[in-house]
Amino acid sequence: MNAGRLRVATKSDGDDLLELWALLFDERDAEAPWRTHAAEWFARYVDDPDTARFPVIEDDGAIVATAVGTLELGVPNPQCVRGRTVRLANVITLPAHRGRGFGSALVLDVLEWARSIEADRVDLSATPEGQRLYERLGFAHTKAPRLKLVL
């Protein structure tokens, strides 16, 4: 990783993370309802290392990259012996800071956290641009189809 400092987010980073998440979803509406829910969710879980992990990369005093790991509890099964899955999401690096290893550092941080809380696996959805990063770090495509119903 070139320059930048990896650290865990704090409550005071909430506004900066919301802006990065807005970029990730190409959401320009500053008044969008999701922002209030996301801010409340972040404030609730940022200090709960048993449930969530929020690594950030800081460069020249500004957060330029982040990722989120959240623990999901499910029924234990052959593919998830303890029923503990970490969902890796919201991995984003500002365009001017890409290509410096920040994404890899963030993902590796979440993987280390997942092991420390005895998760069975880490699941994610990847954009075509992000697939190489995840494959390089050992993630594999699954045969399970993914479906979604928006309520």
What are the backbone dihedrals phi and psi of residue 90, each rounded to the nearest 5 degrees, phi first?
A: 50, 40
Q: CB of 124 within 8 A of CB of 88?
A: yes
Which residues of the chain form beta strands (DSSP E)? Answer: 5-8, 52-53, 55-59, 62-73, 84-93, 121-124
Q: What was the pLDDT predicted at 145?
A: 77
Burial of 1 (0-12, 13-18, 19+ CB in 10 A): middle
For residue 52, how far is the Cα from the chain centroid?
A: 9
Q: Which residue has the higher pLDDT, 119 or 150?
A: 119
**pLDDT band per the 50, 70, 90 thresholds, residue 148:** confident
* CATH classification code of 5-136: 3.40.630.30
Q: What was the pLDDT predicted at 2?
A: 62
pLDDT beyond 70 at 87: yes
Q: What is the mean pLDDT of residues 22-37?
A: 90
How many Å apart are CA 28 and CA 13, to the nearest integer? Answer: 19
Domain locations along the chain: 5-136
**pLDDT band per the 50, 70, 90 thresholds, residue 52:** very high
Rounded to two decimals, the pTM is 0.93
Arithmetic mean of pLDDT over the chain:
93
Mutual angle of helices 14-24 and 33-45, in 10-degree steps: 130
Q: CB of 80 within 8 A of CB of 64?
A: no
Q: What was the pLDDT predicted at 44?
A: 96
Q: What was the pLDDT predicted at 144?
A: 79
